[in-house]
Amino acid sequence: MARKKDWVVYLLIALGLLFFGVFTLVKPKLFEQLFIIALGIVAIVTGTSSLVTLNKYSFAKFNRTSTLIKGVASIIIGVLAVILPITMGGVLWRIVLYVLAAQLLLSAIVVIIDAFAVRLLGLSPAPLFLEGVVSLVVSILLFISPKTIADLLVTILGVALIVVAVAIGVIAFVIRKKRFSQTIEAVEVEIEDP
């Protein structure tokens, strides 16, 4: 029974994505503020996870101190990124983007150093390297031109959400069509008593 309604779930997901895509393109400034708040939340989460996992690995004193500084800085900057756009708005978001870029650069450096330390311990450094490279790339892009990069990312995201919404919507209708086109032939069965 649940399988019969799969197309409805796909259609609802498509409509939700379509709404967010159009919202992103129609209200880019509001979306940028929400995006900064989301980046702030991510900074808080990564900072907290750095502090929580600090004792999990036996780092050298430098690595431990740098990870501690990165974690605390991430939490502070994340809280500012969440609070300031809400209370101040306007031009302040650009300053917050530069601060986030600086935090991402610091985070990238520390995480890449930690990845080398983790590798020396015989553990997989892949997640740390990935986090470090992504942080470094986003940081560089934000330093180069925060306004242009933010506007470009908002536009790309809006268009991508709309394209994905249309694709999922098409999938929903294909599933619906397949469900309704399937027929079951009636079969007569006789059961004989032994």
Q: What are the tens digits of pLDDT across the range 125-174?
A: 888 889 889 989 989 988 888 878 778 878 888 999 999 999 999 988 88
- Note whether 28 and 75 are within 8 A (CB): no
CA distances from residue 158 to 15, 39, 90, 162, 185 in whole angstroms, order as listed:
14, 17, 21, 6, 46
H/E stretch holding 183 reads none
Mean pLDDT, to the nearest integer, of 173-189? Answer: 70
Q: What is the C-alpha to C-alpha distance for residues 129 and 110, in angstroms, rounded to an integer?
A: 10
Report the range of poorest mean pLDDT among 58-72, 102-116, 124-138, 145-159. Answer: 58-72
Q: What is the C-alpha to C-alpha distance for residues 129 and 174, in angstroms, rounded to an integer?
A: 41
